[in-house]
């Protein structure tokens, strides 16, 4: 049953990939002279790509808390696995910050580049300033930026302290930070959404899973501060406390 379901989803997603790949390439061609319009339409279609992906994988998302999120916010969330991108992307307009390795993944790298993803290579410390300036520019242009400041995926049991460097972009642009907590209701530890040691096995598990339930909780925004460390700590505390209060696998809906 699981293998059959995975095969059907692979076929369906191949169609999704082609359709949104063509849309993304077309948008880049149509608006290559206008960065503002390009980002606007890329953001629009990226949201629909994430929604269709959730439909194909039967990822059901419930959003709680303070919504809608103001445009031009720095959205920070705990990180578990690949589903985080679909879960957040299907509900919030914004551009993701992703690790540089994804830029080398076949097929995924193409969609990520078409979606104007901001790539970061954390092994090259001299690139951090460039990353901060790029995020700042997106925020100043009125576009939200979504990132995972834990800088690694976790098994869903806890939230680890946030890295503070990227919060400098919120300080420079005087834009608010919005902490977001993601949790999955699959009854497993580590959760099915977790990357684990093999990305291929992770994707295969998702493809074979009949349904994945998740809840996204949006906490009150944190006004920009002169100190990035303060912003990082406040954001971490908000997400960590919410995660501990509810429990990562507390099944609260059917």
User: Which structural domain range is residue 182 located in?
Assistant: 2-246
User: Is 183 part of a structural domain of the chain?
Assistant: yes
User: Is 182 part of a structural domain of the chain?
Assistant: yes
Would you tell me the crossing angle of helices 2-30 and 199-208 to the nearest 10 degrees?
110
User: Is 252 part of a structural domain of the chain?
Assistant: no
pLDDT in tens, the chain (254 residues): 788 999 999 999 899 989 999 999 999 999 988 999 999 999 999 999 999 999 999 999 999 998 889 999 999 999 998 899 999 999 999 999 987 666 566 566 777 778 888 887 766 667 788 889 999 999 999 999 999 999 888 888 889 999 999 999 999 999 999 999 999 998 888 888 887 777 788 888 899 999 999 999 999 999 987 799 999 999 999 999 999 877 655 544 44
User: Is 254 part of a structural domain of the chain?
Assistant: no
Domain count for the chain, please give it: 1
Domain of residue 154, CATH code: 3.40.1130
User: Is 59 part of a structural domain of the chain?
Assistant: yes
Cα Rg of the chain, angstroms? 18
User: Is 175 part of a structural domain of the chain?
Assistant: yes
User: Is 251 part of a structural domain of the chain?
Assistant: no
What string of DSSP letters covers 65-109?
A: ES-SPPTT-EEEE---STHHHHHHHTTS--EEEEEGGGGGSTTHH
What per-residue confidence (pLDDT) applies to 82?
Answer: 85
User: Is 253 part of a structural domain of the chain?
Assistant: no
What per-residue confidence (pLDDT) applies to 122?
Answer: 65
């Amino acid at each position: 049953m699981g293998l059959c379901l995975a095969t059907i989803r692979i076929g369906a997603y191949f169609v999704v990939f082609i359709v949104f790949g063509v849309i993304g390439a077309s948008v880049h061609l149509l608006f290559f002279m206008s960065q503002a319009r390009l980002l606007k339409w890329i953001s629009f279609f990226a949201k629909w790509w994430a929604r269709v992906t959730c439909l194909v994988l039967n990822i059901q998302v419930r959003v709680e808390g303070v919504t809608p999120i103001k445009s031009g916010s720095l959205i920070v969330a705990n990180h578990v696995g690949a589903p985080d991108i679909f879960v957040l992307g299907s509900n919030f307009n914004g551009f993701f910050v992703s690790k540089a390795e994804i830029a080398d993944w076949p097929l995924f790298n193409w969609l990520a580049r078409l979606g104007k993803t901001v790539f970061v290579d954390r092994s090259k410390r001299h690139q951090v300033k460039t990353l901060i300036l790029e995020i700042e520019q997106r925020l100043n242009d009125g576009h939200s930026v979504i990132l995972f400041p834990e800088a690694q995926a976790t098994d869903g049991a806890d939230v680890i302290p946030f890295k503070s460097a990227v919060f400098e972009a919120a300080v420079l642009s005087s834009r608010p930070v919005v902490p977001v907590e993601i949790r999955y209701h699959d009854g497993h530890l580590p959760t099915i959404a977790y990357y684990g040691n093999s990305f291929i096995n992770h994707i295969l598990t998702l493809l074979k899973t009949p349904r994945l339930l998740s809840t996204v909780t949006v906490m009150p925004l944190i006004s920009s501060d002169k100190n990035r460390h303060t912003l990082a700590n406040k954001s971490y505390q908000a997400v960590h406390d919410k995660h501990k209060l509810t429990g990562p696998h507390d099944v609260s809906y059917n």
